[in-house]
Structure 1
Amino acid sequence: MPFSNTVTFKDLTINRLWEALRSGEKSALEAIYKEYIKDLYSFGMSLHADEAIVKDAIQDVFIDLWNYRAKLCSDVVVKQYLFKSLSNRIQKELGKNARRSSLHWLTDQEPSVSSIEDELVQNQAETEITGKMYGALSQLPVRQKEVLQYLFFEKLSYEETANLLEINIRSTYTLAWKAINALKKAITVLGLIIFLF
């Protein structure tokens, strides 16, 4: 079900491709894949750090789209449908493998090193802070990571996020609050680290 009353040319094109896919046109599946593969990859990697699992999950999503094309609903927001399908696939895989997921929201940039002692100390502090924050993010349950991804990176509303997760808005607020609260605790610890340096 569309979440926005604003329909763009791109939306119309994607909706036509979706209908063509439902009618059995393989070229429509390929066009949808090309349109969303980068977004799906980024989203998948934000939920789980294992690239092989994410790529396999994306492939499975598109295989299912083709195999069950006749049963697809016509009234969907395609990008959100794909995100939800990918999230379900990844969570299923994580449950099957009984592995904890990790998160790639922080960059792996190395701090610049100079010969000045103050900069070395500052860089060491930043590296420790990045590590602590990464650790805090990676400890969040997948559902909380997903809420943060939808709300803050995909810029969806709480209503849209609730619809994607198939939960009520109150539960969405609760999940977001728990995730943010956990990160706030980590930031408090980071503040102490900064103070010590």
Structure 2
Amino acid sequence: MINERQSDEQLWNALREGDQDAFSALYQRFYATLYSYGYKVADNVTLVEDAIQDLFVDLWRMRRSVSGAESVKFYLFRSLRRKIHVLSKKEDGWHFVDTETHAAPESYSAEHPLMQEEEQSQLIERITYALEKLPPRQQEVIALRFYQGFKNEEIARIMGITEKSVRNTLHKALSHLREQAPFLAPLLGFLLWWFS
């Protein structure tokens, strides 16, 4: 019996044994995250949905031959990126588009909740605008690093590039953001120092 407390690895191993409930649990657990990432890689909703469906269909079909994954999330992200790449060759092209806004936790004030909400909305718009100005590769590295929490080594393996390329791309992206969004300079200065 599958429960919500089972780890990704436990579900993965149960899937490899043919457990349909484990397959369903993995699908439900990762669909939204994969969709969000996929839409950052390709701005075509149908392409992303098809890639996710193909990924899970192949996963079920090949369940007995897939190896144990040291990180299920990493395996799924890398596989989705490959699926999108293959499917996008049939399309006109693909571009990074971030339709989600990732708000910082709100601090609640009884005196000025509407003003805080408006300020936060404007800040999110400015950050989103600055991110959209980055080249697609830099946007993807930013999304994988800061939105999905992958390490540089994992990003390199997902994208099929060297770890040094990831560091350089991340550094360029953060430098570009600092130029385009001076209001983020203190935070970006720290991030540049931290990731160099």
TM-score range, shorter chain: 0.5 to 0.7
CA RMSD of aligned residues (A): 3.5
Give the distance between the partners of 2:166 and 2:98, measured in 1 at CA.
Answer: 22
TM-score (norm: length of structure 2)? 0.67
- Runs of 4+ with >6 A deviation: none
Partner residue of 1:19 out of 13, 20, 29: 13
Larger deviation: 22-31 or 174-183?
174-183
Give the distance between the partners of 1:92 and 1:136, measured in 2 at CA.
Answer: 29
TM-score (norm: length of structure 1)? 0.67
Shift, 1:21, TM fit = 1.4
Q: Which residue of 1 aligns with 2:46?
A: 52
User: Are 1:95 and 2:89 an aligned pair?
Assistant: yes
Give the distance between the partners of 1:45 and 1:150, measured in 2 at CA.
Answer: 12
Give the distance between the partners of 1:183 and 1:28, measured in 2 at CA.
Answer: 41
Larger deviation: 75-84 or 91-100?
91-100
User: Are 1:76 and 2:57 an aligned pair?
Assistant: no
The alpha-carbon distance between structure 1 residues 62 and 160, as it changes in their structure 2 partners (threshold 3 A), is: same
Kindly provide the amino acid, as one letter, of the partner of residue 17 in structure 1. L
Give the distance between the partners of 1:138 and 1:98, measured in 2 at CA.
Answer: 20
Give the distance between the partners of 1:83 and 1:140, measured in 2 at CA.
Answer: 21
User: Are 1:35 and 2:47 an aligned pair?
Assistant: no
2:41 touches 2:94 (CA, 8 Å); kept in 1?
A: no
| SS at 1:147 equivalent | helix
Give the distance between the partners of 1:95 and 1:22, measured in 2 at CA.
Answer: 30
Give the distance between the partners of 1:184 and 1:154, measured in 2 at CA.
Answer: 21
Give the distance between the partners of 1:36 and 1:92, measured in 2 at CA.
Answer: 21
Give the distance between the partners of 1:96 and 1:139, measured in 2 at CA.
Answer: 26
Shift, 1:136, TM fit = 5.7
Q: How does 1:37-186 map to 2 (within 5 A)?
A: 37-104=31-98, 107=101, 130=125, 137-138=131-132, 140-186=134-180
The alpha-carbon distance between structure 1 residues 98 and 27, as it changes in their structure 2 partners (threshold 3 A), is: same
Kindly provide the amino acid, as one letter, of the partner of residue 141 in structure 2. V
Tell which structure's C-alpha radius of gyration is larger. 1
Shift, 1:84, TM fit = 1.3
| SS at 2:144 equivalent | helix
User: What do residues 94-134 of structure 1 show as CA deviations (whole Å, max 9, x unaligned)?
Assistant: 33213131311564xxxxxxxxxxxxxxx9xx69x948x65
The alpha-carbon distance between structure 1 residues 75 and 49, as it changes in their structure 2 partners (threshold 3 A), is: closer
Give unpaired runs (5+ residues) of structure 2. 102-118, 183-196
| SS at 1:70 equivalent | coil
Q: Which residue of 1 aligns with 2:185?
A: none
Select the structure that is richer in helix.
1
1:101 touches 1:138 (CA, 8 Å); kept in 2?
A: no
